[in-house]
């Protein structure tokens, strides 16, 4: 699987899981559908960005760093929109970005290998 696609798929899956764990917070349980969709979209956007980065830059350390940064940033935006729950949103978001960043660098198929 190429890096962008891998990032997209992983981002979507982890984003969806992230969203579903919001069910554990009773105050937001009623909005679970919107949260899951939003989280999934956030995950997809993060995943695509991280995947594109992985295509350009071959470095696990930089991939992890970029993934973490993108994950935290997008999570921050969502938390801002929620006017709260910064810790509960940003920590998982950052971790997802970190995971996707590592996975795209380590397991994604690059442009060079696609040509051969």
Partner 1 sequence: MTQLSDSVVARLRTEMQVPDLEGTRYRIVRHLARGGMGSIWLAEDTVLKRRVALKVLDLVAPADDFGARLLQEARILAGLEHRGIVPVHDAGTLADGRAFYCMKYVEGQTLAQHIAAKNIQEKLRLLERIAEPVDFAHAHGVIHRDLKPENIMIGAFGEVLVMDWGLAKVGAPGLRSAENEISTLVLLTPNPSRVTGQGTVLGTPGYMSPEQARGVTTQLDRRADIFSLGAILAFMLTGSVRGEALAVKGNVPRPLRAICEKAMAADPNARYQSAGEMTDDIECYLNGAPVLAYSEGLLERARRIYARHRTAIVLVAAYLLMRVLFILLSRR
- Residue 2 has φ and ψ, to the nearest 5°, of -75, 170
Q: Which is nearer to partner 1, 77 or 91 (by Cβ)?
A: 91
90 binds partner 1 (CB under 8 A): no
56 binds partner 1 (CB under 8 A): no
106 binds partner 1 (CB under 8 A): yes
With beta carbons less than 8 A apart as the criterion, state whether 18 and 93 touch.
yes
> How many other CB atoms are found less than 10 A from the CB of residue 40?
20
21 binds partner 1 (CB under 8 A): yes
Least gap, CB of 86 to partner 1 (angstroms): 14
Least gap, CB of 16 to partner 1 (angstroms): 13
Closest CA to 60 of 70, 75, 50: 50
With beta carbons less than 8 A apart as the criterion, state whether 104 and 3 touch.
yes
Interatomic CA distance for residues 112 and 116, integer angstroms? 7
93 binds partner 1 (CB under 8 A): no
Q: Which stretch binds partner 1 (CB under 8 A): 30-38, 42-50, 73-81, 101-109?
A: 101-109
């Amino acid at each position: 699987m190429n890096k962008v696609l891998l990032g997209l798929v992983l981002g979507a899956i982890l984003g969806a899981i992230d969203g579903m764990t919001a069910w554990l917070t009773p105050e937001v349980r009623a909005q679970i559908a919107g949260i899951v969709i939003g989280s999934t979209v956030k995950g997809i956007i993060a995943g695509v960005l991280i995947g594109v980065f992985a295509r350009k830059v071959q470095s696990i350390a930089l991939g992890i760093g970029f993934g973490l940064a993108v994950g935290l940033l997008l999570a921050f935006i969502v938390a801002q929109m929620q006017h709260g729950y910064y810790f509960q949103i940003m920590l998982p978001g950052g971790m997802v970005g970190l995971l996707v960043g590592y996975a795209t660098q380590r397991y994604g198929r690059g442009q060079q290998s696609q040509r051969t």
